[in-house]
Amino acid sequence: MEPCFLTAAQAAAEMKAGRLTSETLIRSCLERIEARDPVVKAWLHVDRDHAIAQARELDKRPSMGPLHGLPFGVKDIMDTVDMPTTYNSPAWQGHRPTRDAACVGIVRHAGAVILGKTDTVEFAFNSRKAASSNPYNAAHTPGGSSSGSGAAVGDFQVQFAFGTQTAGSHIRPASFNGIYAIKPSWGTVSREGVHMISAILDTVGWYGRSVEDLILGALAFRLDGIDALAAPEPKGMRIGYCETPFWDQAEAGAKKAMAASIERLRKAGAIVEEIVLPAHFGDLAEAHTMIMYGEGRVALHDEYLRHGAGLHPELRLTVENGRGVTPRRLVEAFDLSDICRKEFDAIASRYDAVLAPASTGEAPRGLHTVGNWIFNGLWTLLHTPCVAIPAVHGELGLPVGIQLVGPRLSDARLLAVAQALQSVIDVNADERARILSAA
């Protein structure tokens, strides 16, 4: 097996045993990028020589931390001191930050090799789309706004990559690309040096190819409780499945993923019960939209003044308040989300995890769209941790995942549950590797 096809946890174990070097791993990833990126187009910037130099230096050192020698892709809304950061905006081409974003600095400190910058929707907001395509079918989107990160990890080009989520920008690409992701609880990972849209919503997360990979990242970020992680047995677990108030928007792929996951969990001995959220949770989609556009209007004001007509029409519309945000509607959205956060924490605390759809279905056809965020926005607004797990392949042969959700700040516990359940829910890992190794 080529090293690029190893999970991060597998590669780390091979390096610890002395059977693999960081340089060999990085060269394998770079060869995969060279072969596949003309189709997948996941990267905006890769510096081959710099990546190899980082790996060589790390091979000479004692371990710096849980990510030592492992490759990491960085979404191009995050500042990097040694690479361009363009936010995928024509207005920022050639921009060179003077320091790393905090999250980038943290993974560097833990020993990661920064492989390059991944493609993104412009400013990670509702505007110019990434050029990236789905690795399983280039005519379909990889999702977004973390388009390149999801596609690169899904296509076995890199073991880790950062994503961000304001609505569904992180978890949805995980579903579309057949990979794992964690969207941590809001506020647990620094957003300093990341282009912001919403202080209330924006969350930094990371992709991997197993729950063990996500745990390595959590160790680097020192999420509370992660050092004492112990995976429980699936038998006897209490799982609440939640179709959410927006189930009428679920397509065949999401329905199949949820039904298959419920069946597999029950066969493994878990107690699976339906959760029906109170009726007012159905208003969270509108509340999320108000907050996202209300704060986006503020966040993009400076870009609007600097670049004017050069700004994407959707971004200009946001700043000019074409979405009809008013102070009253914002206050109502703030108040509702406060109420629902407390209520959901109480509901979710009765279970080991809540099972929910990660996307409306398979990745849509066309690169003009990144898909529907309806099954993600409420969890972003509620500030809950979410872990995406691949579940099925849909009618078009594209992956569809589910997500496990927990109460706020239960990230370590949720990862432990996900670790116990990944082999129950994800039965297609070998098939995904087989399909893409032949691509």
Q: What residue type is 253 in one-letter code? A: G
Q: CB of 179 within 8 A of CB of 142? A: no
- Our answer to whether residue 169 is catalytic in this structure is yes
DSSP strand pairing (353-357 vs 238-241): parallel
Which amino acid makes up residue 3? P
> Catalytic annotation on 75?
yes
* Residue 347 tokens, joined: 């509901």
For the CA atoms of 283, 289, 290, 293, the dihedral, rounded to the nearest 10 degrees, stands at 180
Q: Which residues 6+ apart lie within 8 Å of 291 measured at CB?
A: 198, 200, 201, 330, 333, 334, 337, 381
Q: What per-residue string of b and e applies to 54-66 under the rule 16 or more CB within 10 Å gives b? A: bbeebbeeeeeeb
Distance CA(51)–CA(42), nearest Å, equals: 17
Cβ neighbours of 396 (radius 10 Å): 16
Tokens at 149, concatenated: 């990160």
Among residues 22, 41, 75, 185, the one annotated as catalytic is: 75
| Backbone φ, ψ for residue 83 (5° rounding) | -145, 155
- C-alpha to C-alpha distances, 379 to 99, 127, 252, nearest whole angstrom: 31, 22, 22
Name the catalytic one among 145, 146, 147, 149.
Answer: 145
**Sheet of 271-274: strands edge to edge?**
43-46, 113-118, 71-75, 160-165, 203-208, 180-183, 386-393, 399-405, 353-357, 238-241, 271-274
Of the candidates 146, 169, 175, 359, the residue annotated as catalytic is: 169
Judge contact between 241 and 272, C-beta under 8 A. Answer: yes
Tokens of 200: 């209330």
Q: Tokens 């990160």 appear where?
A: 149
Catalytic positions? 75, 145, 169
